[in-house]
Structures are given as structure tokens and as C-alpha cells.
């Protein structure tokens, strides 16, 4: 049967993708970030996941104001990088896993999560930046990817608890897939940042670090954080952190942290990154 072997949390700042694409990894501003991600690249080379369920948000790339799905699962054979205004990122197309994706959609719908399914969709930096950070510069991504896009743009986004429960449903669905697959779930976005208005540039390191602590120590607290707390404490775009709770919910009650990294600033954003292993 398929099984979830690990969860990865990672910010998906577009500037990281630009620095990566332009070969700026060794510049002083970027070096601490890219040096840290060497750890996870080595680890991923050993882990060799077959499939990553990649939770991210679309930043007005595939979804405009015409359709606003709260949770949308990608079931296509492949997904092309989106042109977000400066041309598509020079990274490989993302290969999907339609059979597992449709299995997850069916199971989740019967489990009372009415996912939207999309077949033709371009994927933006929210999905491709974490892939670059985890796998580096490659001719082809080393695993299949099932995109799970979450609306965190138009309010209200889903509650943290709803995200957690979807994670639990995904786990049940993955564990009922008959093929022996090594599956990771990634939660992306965050941490504290605000990109708009006179309050832009907000960073809250103590709040972020308490969030990282409690992914392991007290995830029940994180499930109950209301949207207004994200907005006040982590900035208007810090709300992306609800997506980490889908990943965390999928790992079960107890986890072990294999790796943790926090860095300020990356452009306007606090970068958070964690690798978690579910414990029996």
C-alpha cells in the first residue's frame, strides 16, 4: 500500500526562484539560505519519494477571479510552469500522478471533502520554488507531483482546523491506495510576511518560531489559531501558514523534526523550513 513517509514545510518566496534561476546562490544575501537547503537535497536524494502531494496556493496565475476553489487537486499527466509576468521559470514540466490523484479525489469526496479537480493548469512559483529548493537544478523532477491548491487570496480562506482535517482525510486516502508508493506531503508558503499597504515588511520571528515549535510539540494549538491572529501577528500574507496544517494533519498525532531552518529576510518574507517524520 502507499504510505506517507515524511512531511516538508517550506516558504515559497518568488525571489528564491529568481535567485536560483539567475545563479545567485553564492551571493552573500542568498548564501545562508542555499547552504541550508543542501541538507534537504541530500536527504531527498536518499529518500527517493515516488510522489509528493504539494500543498500550495496559486497567486492569481491559474485561477483568476472567475473561479475561486477553496481546495483544488490537480489530476493531469503534467503541468507547465506559469508565466507570471516575466516569462515562465526555466524549470522542467511537473509530472503528475493522475491515478493516485483521482483516487485521492474520490476518497476525499466520500470522506466529505468536496475537492475541485482540475486537469489543465499551469503551476506558479508557489509550487515550482519548493521543487527547486528540494531537488536543485535538474533536467527532470525526480518524482511525480500532485498539486493541491488552496485559496488563501479571497477571504475567507479555509480555517486552520479544516486544513488539518483535510490532511487527515488525505492520509486515509493515501493509505488505501493499493500500489506500494513512498509519498511525501509538503506544506508551502509563509512564514510571517506582508506584501501590501503601509504595514508591508512585517516580520514576527517569535510568533513564527512558536509556530515551528508547536508543529511538533503542540499542533492542537495551531489548529485553533483564528484568521485574525495570522493577520495581526504574521502579516496579511502570513495566512498562507494554514496550508502547513494540511501537511501536518496528514502526518498523524506525533512527529519528529529531522531538520529546521528559519531565516530573515528573504525579500519581504521570513523563510521557514522544516522536515518532519511521522511517528507510530
Partner 1 sequence: MTGRIDIHDYLAEFDDIPGTRVFTTTRARQGYWLNQFCMSLMKPENRERFRQDERAYLDEWPMTEQQKQAVLKRDYNAALDAGGNIYFLAKIFSSDGKSFQFAAGSMTGMTQEAYAKMMLEGGRSPDGWRSIREKR
Residues that bind partner 1 (CB under 8 A): 14-15, 18, 59-61, 64-66, 82-87, 153-156, 159-161, 192, 194-205, 207, 223-224, 226-228, 231-233, 235-237, 264-265, 267-268, 270
Rounded Cα gap, residues 231 and 130, in angstroms: 24
Q: How far is the CB of 2 from partner 1 (least distance, A)?
A: 28
- Is 97 marked active-site? no
Interior angle at CA 142, CA 106 and CA 274, nearest 5? 80
Rounded Cα gap, residues 260 and 39, in angstroms: 10
Whichever of 1 and 60 has its CB closer to partner 1, that residue is 60
Catalytic residue among 97, 103, 193, 273: 193
Q: How far is the CB of 238 from partner 1 (least distance, A)?
A: 10
Rounded Cα gap, residues 192 and 175, in angstroms: 33
Q: How far is the CB of 268 from partner 1 (least distance, A)?
A: 5
Whichever of 26 and 66 has its CB closer to partner 1, that residue is 66
Q: How far is the CB of 219 from partner 1 (least distance, A)?
A: 13
Whichever of 49 and 249 has its CB closer to partner 1, that residue is 249
Rounded Cα gap, residues 236 and 196, in angstroms: 8
DSSP string across 85-119: SS-B-S-PPEE--HHHHHHHHHHHHHTT---EEES
Peptide bond into 265 cis (omega under 30): yes
Whichever of 29 and 102 has its CB closer to partner 1, that residue is 29
Whichever of 196 and 218 has its CB closer to partner 1, that residue is 196
Catalytic residue among 59, 97, 125, 273: 125
Burial of 227 (0-12, 13-18, 19+ CB in 10 A): middle
Do 246 and 187 form a contact (C-beta atoms < 8 A)?
yes
Cβ-proximal residues to 8 (8 Å cutoff; 6+ apart), any chain: 40, 130, 134, 184, 185, 186, 187, 247, 273, 274, 275, 276
- Is 59 marked active-site? no
Do 40 and 275 form a contact (C-beta atoms < 8 A)?
yes
Q: How far is the CB of 127 from partner 1 (least distance, A)?
A: 14
Q: How far is the CB of 154 from partner 1 (least distance, A)?
A: 5
Neighbouring-strand partners of residue 94 = 79
Whichever of 55 and 181 has its CB closer to partner 1, that residue is 55
Query: Which residues are catalytically annotated?
Result: 125, 193
Amino acid at each position: 500500500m502507499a504510505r506517507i513517509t515524511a512531511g516538508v514545510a517550506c516558504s515559497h518566496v518568488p525571489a528564491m526562484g529568481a535567485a536560483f534561476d539567475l545563479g545567485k546562490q553564492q551571493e552573500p544575501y542568498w548564501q545562508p539560505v542555499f547552504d541550508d537547503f543542501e541538507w534537504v537535497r541530500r536527504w531527498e536524494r536518499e529518500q527517493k519519494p515516488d510522489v509528493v502531494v504539494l500543498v500550495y496556493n496559486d497567486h492569481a496565475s491559474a485561477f483568476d477571479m472567475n473561479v475561486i476553489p477553496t481546495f483544488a487537486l490537480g489530476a493531469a499527466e503534467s503541468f507547465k510552469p506559469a508565466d507570471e509576468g516575466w516569462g515562465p521559470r526555466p524549470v522542467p514540466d511537473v509530472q503528475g500522478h493522475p491515478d493516485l490523484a483521482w483516487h485521492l479525489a474520490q476518497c476525499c469526496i466520500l470522506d466529505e471533502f468536496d475537492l475541485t479537480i482540475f486537469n489543465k493548469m499551469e503551476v506558479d512559483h508557489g509550487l515550482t520554488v519548493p521543487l527547486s529548493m528540494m531537488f536543485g537544478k535538474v533536467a527532470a523532477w525526480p518524482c511525480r507531483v500532485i498539486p493541491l491548491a488552496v485559496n488563501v487570496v479571497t477571504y475567507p480562506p479555509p480555517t486552520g482546523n479544516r486544513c488539518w482535517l483535510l490532511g487527515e482525510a488525505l492520509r486515509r486516502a493515501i493509505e488505501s491506495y493499493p500500489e506500494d508508493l513512498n509519498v511525501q506531503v509538503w506544506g508551502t508558503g509563509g512564514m510571517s510576511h506582508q506584501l501590501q499597504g503601509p504595514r508591508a515588511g512585517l516580520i514576527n520571528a517569535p510568533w513564527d518560531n512558536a509556530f515551528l515549535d508547536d508543529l511538533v510539540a503542540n499542533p492542537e494549538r495551531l489548529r485553533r489559531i483564528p484568521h485574525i491572529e495570522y493577520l495581526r501577528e504574521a502579516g496579511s500574507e502570513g495566512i498562507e501558514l494554514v496550508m502547513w496544517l494540511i501537511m501536518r494533519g496528514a502526518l498523524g498525532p506525533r512527529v519528529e523534526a529531522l531538520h529546521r531552518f528559519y531565516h530573515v529576510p528573504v525579500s519581504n518574507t521570513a523563510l521557514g523550513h522544516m522536515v518532519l517524520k511521522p511517528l507510530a
